[in-house]
Structures are given as structure tokens and as C-alpha cells.
Chains A and B, each alone.
Chain A
């Protein structure tokens, strides 16, 4: 057995710039996905509690479909079906095109989880407050936006943190959608240097450097913005 290779950290040093670049791709993917998933998830949650049956049904159908489909399938659908077969081109630059396809696939999937977290947050807001909002003449959308959702968000900051961390780790699956991020580079390095423990540890640490502070940040925010009742 070649113990030297197994404990050789030099590939991490040699390829440091590349690794930083790959994690930067992961960050860009996570940030854009986080923003889009939050927006889409909020709209979906609004649909699922709306008084209009058609909107409720559409929201429920979306959530049940996306939440119960493996992420790999969603991303393959984006890259193979949308891009290769249907010829959807979001940019002439291939990497940009695949970036957006990966973002859309990942956002569409994550939004279903955001929606369900938010919906449980909506349930923590006493129904009387929504009634009071309607009683002063706010419309359904106004009372959702100004009274119910602000409190619902604060109630679910912690679960949204878990969803965010899961989403950041899920970016590794976009490997299948032809976008190069940290996991893709790790796979390349495994092929070049052999699948060694140091490379694996290096990348695992890289993800923890991203996810641990995220967790702390959400935990702090959950306490900071808790609604006193």
C-alpha cells in the first residue's frame, strides 16, 4: 500500500487556485438558488393558503411533484431535456447556459421545501391577527404581505437555515447538469491524483467552511427576530 499518496496534502496546495474557483462556483450557485427559491417558495406558500381553489390546487400539485422527485432527475431534466433536446439556450456561452439551468433546477426543487416550511410558519400566526388585518380593510394579499408572512418568516428562520444548508450541499448534484463546481473538481482531482483521503478531507472542510457559518447565522437570526407573543 502506498501510504505516501494516501497522506499527501500537496495536491490541495498545488491546485489551490482551482479549488478556490470551484468553491466560488458553488457559492454563486448557492446564492442565486437561495434568492430564487425564497421568492418562488413564498409565492407557492401564498398560493397554498389563498382563498382561490385553483391557486391552492396548483400550489399543492407543484409542491407534491417537485418534493417527491429526486433532485438528480430534476437537474437531468433541465440539462438534457430542456437544453439538449428542446434546445433551450439561456446563453451562447456554454458554462453560463449550464449555470442558469442548474440554478433553475435547484431553485425549482428547493422552493417546494421553502414553501412547506413557510406554510408551517403561517400556521404559527394566530388566525385572529389575519382577521384583524381583514377587519381594517386590508385585502388578502395585503394582509399576507404585511401581517402574516413577516411573522411566518421569523418563525421559520431556523428551518429555512436547514433548507439552505441542504441546498448548498445539493449543489454537488449539479455535476449531472454539466456545471462545474466543487464536487466536479474533486472528481477530476480524484482521477488525476487518485482518490486520496487529503483531497476528500480538503473538500469536506471546504463545504463546512461554507455551511457551518450559514447555520450559525440562521440560528442567531432566529433568536434576534423572534416574535414575542
Chain B
């Protein structure tokens, strides 16, 4: 165990969740997530890019503590779905609720909402002119109004946790891709989000760096963080997910447990997809 940081939004308000790094390679998230209540709810969500109907009547409920992995072919709407949950992509129709509240349209309220939803991008998107430490503390200081000394201390704990505390004073360009992505995860965690969104977090990484990022995500899942993960990492999906969502052509084609989905998919579309990726 390396540190403890209070996590907001879990049942009972703020309390400490002990962070641990995974030591065993067993299944991380429990099959029946604790806490239970719905945290992210999408109802009849529709989104168009011009004529392209990228999200078609999407219904999805993510419960507290649940880890949902979204997989599927490129262009199927996975990233759009992920980005719509903190309104980086506005939707055209339908409803998105986070912790019982509908997404605000614009302005300060939307900013407050986004502060509660952590996001990790494919291309890391660290602030290039700030050190790793400053990247992590910017949100807590400017949005949460945490004192700088407290923010620095908590940020160092988080960086320690993701294994890059010794890089705190460096700039993003001086770090490897895997280190940058772990810094980006720390930056999102520093806001103590209710839910973490991962938009293909390992797709831009060199193969040898994928594991270090997945390890951090796996340990997060083990600690009860609610996560929505768009990924092509089937191993991670099997190991850490409570639920697998298979998306294709703007629709949720199949929603299943990881074991069932990978061994016994119900839909032909999913069978076809799995046969292409699992046999090579």
C-alpha cells in the first residue's frame, strides 16, 4: 500500500479508500459491485455527425463501483459514447444522468460536472508547458480551490501510486508515452472523480508500455472506482471488467459479462468481431 486519498462520491460521501497496487493477477473487480446504485445513466441517446448516425438510441446504466469495458470495431461510436458523458461531444437527443443529475448544457455548471468526471485520452493531452506535478495540481487548485501545499502533497501521493513520483518536476515531452499516460491518470484522479472515463488509453503506446498503464487501471478497478473504458485490450476486459459492451455501427449490440462475452457471445456481430481479433 502506498497512500490514501479521500474519494468523493462514493456512498456515504467522502471517506478514505486505501489504494493498493495489485500483486496477484486474479480477477480484480468483484462480480457484484458494492454500493450498487446507478451512477451513469444514458437514456435513448442519439448523436449525428452530419448524416452519420453515430449513437443510435443508446441505453446504458453504469452502477457505482462497476467497471464497464466498451469494445467494438473502429467507427462504431465507442469514443463518441465515452466523450458524450462529459459533454466533450454534445448529444442531439436523449438524456445523460451522472449521479442522478442531468448534464448541464454549458457554462459553470458544466465545468463543475466535468470536474466530477475524470477523463483519460488516447493521446494523453498533458499540458506541455507545465511540469508533471503542475499538470496534476492545476485542477485541484483552480477548480477545487485546494491550497497549493495540500494539492502538491496529494499530487505527489498520486504520482507515487502510478509509479512516476521521480518524474514530478519534468515536462511531459521528457517522459515516455507510458509515463505520460500514467501522469494523465493521476491528473484525472486528483479531481477525486465519481467516475473515470478512459478513451482508448493504451492505443497510442508502444507495446512494452501498455502493461504499466493497464496495471494502474487494474488496481484502480480493484479499489472500487467506477470506470468506463473504451479499449482493444481484451486481457484487461477479461481481468478487470464487470460488464462488456459491444458496440458496432452506433448501437450497443451486446451487453454481457466478460466471461460469457469472450467464451460464448450471443450475437453474430460479436462472434465475427471476436473471431477476427482473437485468432491472429
Contacts and interface: CB of A to CB of B under 8 A. Distances in A.
B125 A137 contact: no
A95 interface: no
Nearest to B197: A135
B114 A142 contact: no
A126 B117 CA distance: 22
Interface of A is mostly: helix
A51 to B, nearest CB: 8
A154 B127 CA distance: 14
Nearest to A142: B142
A229 interface: yes
Contacts of B81: none
B280 interface: no
A151 interface: yes
Contact of A139 (B111, B116, B118): B111
Interface string B148-185: 00000000000000000000000101100000000010
Contacts, number: 75
A227 interface: yes
B220 interface: no
Contacts of A51: 106
B86 A135 contact: yes
Contacts of B118: 135
Contacts of A128: 121, 123, 125
Interface string A46-60: 000001000000000
Interface string A128-153: 11011111111100100011001100
Interface in A87-119: none
Interface in A160-192: none
The 4 residue pairs across chains A and B that have the minimum distance between CB atoms: A137-B115, A136-B139, A132-B125, A128-B125
6 contacts: A132-B125, A135-B88, A136-B138, A137-B115, A137-B191, A146-B142
